[in-house]
Structure 1
Amino acid sequence: MNEHVAAKPCVHIRLLTHSGWEEKLREVQAGLEEEGIPWRVTAGDCGEFVALGHQGAEESQLGVGIGIDASGMCIHYQKLPQAEPLFCLPEGGVKAEWRRIGYNAARLVKGIPFKDEETSVLNHSNETALALSEELALKQLIETIVSKVIAETGRAMGR
């Protein structure tokens, strides 16, 4: 048997099992699958979801990891500091948010715009609308920066 066969490039999902983890994982995997990006799930032995996500990103040939534990989930990129994941979903969440984690991890790999939460500014007060506008501007800035990093990394690798 050839021990030097390289593992298939994929997003690494690091997971600490807890109540309801199966449903969260299923939705994250569905988001990745719908975007056509493979994944690998590894049980985490300790740490919290941000550290697990960073560990997954470090292990992934694609540089993208997802960390999941009882207190939340995140998408991490290997070039970011451990304490600064790209997207965080603290405790709780719903199926659509869990699936969006999968979508956006896949989109990070592909270098295409992230899927955003559909919100209606018309249903919010002016103060809330301003906060949502600022958050959207920040997300767009992050997308631009991540896209540039991915493009520069690709050029450096001769792609």
Structure 2
Amino acid sequence: MAEDLDRPAIDIALLPEDGTTLPERLQPLLLGIEEEQIPFLFLPSSDQTSPDLVTRAYDAAVASRLSVGIAYSHDQIVVHYKNLAPDAPLFTEDVTTAKAIRIIGANAARLVKGVPFKL
């Protein structure tokens, strides 16, 4: 079944080498989003206009009907909100533990919900 790219969701910009899903080490990001009951969509690498991490996150936020986008590299995750300046993401976090990655996902979803972030 094809994904509905017009449905409200947090958009996650994928890396070209990851194909159509997140790498296993970043799966806690999805769990954090899901625990806050917010949907997400993957943006294939062909939909990205820049290899820069912050720009990819901003482009994902602009594409998202919920105005929140996420991009990642091998060692960082960036959460962006479309109403922020393109070069000023909301969060830039190092990829460390599964718990920290899950909290980043939850906080991206909490941005959508308008509730306080987890520490």
User: What is the correspondence of 1:109-148 to structure 2 with a 5 Å cutoff?
Assistant: 109-116=112-119
**Structure 1 residues without counterparts, runs of 5 or longer:** 117-159
Q: 1:61 to 1:22 in 2, by over 3 A?
A: same
Aligned-residue offset at 1:33: 0.4
- Structure number having the greater helix percentage: 1
Unaligned runs of 5+ in 2: none
Structure 1 runs, 4 residues or longer, greater than 4 Å off: none
For 2:97 and 2:6, the matched residues in 1 are separated by: 32
Larger radius of gyration: 1
Q: Which has the higher contact order (CA 8 A, sep 6+)?
A: 2
SS at 1:114's partner residue? coil
The alignment covers a number of residue pairs equal to 110
Q: CA contact under 8 A between 2:33 and 2:40: conserved in structure 1?
A: yes
8 Å CA contact 1:31, 1:99 repeated in 2: yes
TM-score normalised by the chain length of structure 2 = 0.82
Q: Deviations over 1:81-135 (max 9, x none)?
A: 1211001113x4121111111100100000000001xxxxxxxxxxxxxxxxxxx
Is contact 2:69–2:79 with CA below 8 Å preserved after alignment?
yes
Aligned twin of 2:24? 23
Q: 1:51 to 1:33 in 2, by over 3 A?
A: same
Residue 84 of structure 2 corresponds to which residue in structure 1?
Answer: 80
Q: Could you say what the CA RMSD is over the residues aligned between the two structures, in angstroms?
A: 2.1
1:53 alignment partner in structure 2: 57
